[in-house]
Every structure is written in C-alpha cells, then in structure tokens.
C-alpha cells in the first residue's frame, strides 16, 4: 500500500494524474510522445547548463593556477638574478 501511495505521489508531483481510480487501483492514460520529448528537452537543457557551469569553474581554476605559476616563475627569476 505504501508503495502504491508513493508511486501516486511521485506521478502527481510530475503532473501525471490517473484517469480512473477504483478500489482495484488507478489507471493512467499513456503519456504522449510530445510530452516525453518536452520532458527530455528540459532535462537536457538542465544538464547542459550544469556542464557549462562546471566548465566555467574549471576554466577559472586553471586561470588562477596559471597566474600562481607565473608569480612563482617571476620570483625564481628574481632570486636567480640576485
């Protein structure tokens, strides 16, 4: 019973409600291909946005590492000249 309630709540959270309810269970209409495609497109968009954020963080981190390395090289050159 708890599993059925959980499934009902999860589907309801997505806006997918049963077309018929009875003491024997619930009947759901089949999802349309357009609805599935729209959900997939939303998921892909969110995934791409996440990947872009990760790439930006990586680029910023690499930039900082390169600047730190430039400072160390500069300090080593200055120490060698003295």
* Calpha distance 48→28 (Å, rounded): 31
* Calpha distance 26→22 (Å, rounded): 6
pLDDT at position 58: 96
23 in the same domain as 2: yes
Three-state secondary structure call for residue 34: helix
62 in the same domain as 36: yes
Taking only the tens of pLDDT, the chain with its 82 residues reads 677 777 767 777 776 777 777 777 777 777 665 566 677 788 888 888 999 999 999 999 999 999 999 999 999 999 998 7
* Calpha distance 39→26 (Å, rounded): 23
74 in the same domain as 44: yes
Number of domains in the chain: 2
pLDDT at position 35: 67
> Residue 82 belongs to what domain range?
32-82
37 in the same domain as 26: no
Q: Is the dihedral of CA 21, 31, 6, 49 positive or negative?
A: negative
């Amino acid at each position: 019973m708890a599993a059925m309630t959980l499934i009902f709540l999860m589907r309801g959270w997505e806006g997918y409600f049963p077309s018929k309810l009875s003491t024997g269970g619930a009947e759901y209409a089949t999802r349309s291909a357009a609805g599935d495609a729209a959900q997939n497109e939303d998921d892909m968009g969110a995934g791409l946005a996440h990947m872009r954020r990760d790439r930006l963080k990586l680029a910023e981190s690499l930039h900082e590492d390169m600047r730190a390395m430039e400072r160390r090289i500069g300090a080593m050159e200055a120490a060698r000249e003295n």
